[in-house]
Amino acid sequence: MEKKEIVLKVLLENDKPMRPGDIAEKSGLPKEEVDKAIKQLKEEGKIESPKRCYYQAKK
């Protein structure tokens, strides 16, 4: 599974917006990889940021 797919899966499993550090902790990925995946997912329009430094999957 690609890193961005793992990040998206973690976000989909959580009801509340998450910080990158929390996503890294839940996914087991390094924070740097989570940051890259978040950037890609935002560009693809799959996730959104309801408030600064918090991310959630688009519904």
* Closest to 57 (Cα-Cα) out of 6, 21, 32, 2: 6
> What phi and psi values does residue 12 have, to the nearest 5 degrees?
-70, -30
The DSSP annotation for 1-35 comes to --HHHHHHHHHHH-SS-B-HHHHHHHHT--HHHHH
Supply the range of the domain harboring residue 10. 3-57
State the CATH number of the domain containing residue 49.
1.10.10.10
Query: In the chain, how many domains are there?
Result: 1
The helix (H) or strand (E) run that includes residue 43 is helix 31-44
From first to last of its 59 residues, what are the pLDDT tens digits of the chain? 899 999 999 999 999 999 999 999 999 999 999 999 999 999 999 999 999 999 999 97
Question: Any residues with CB less than 8 A from the CB of 30 and at least 6 apart, and which?
Answer: 24
pLDDT for 1 equals 85
pLDDT for 55 equals 98
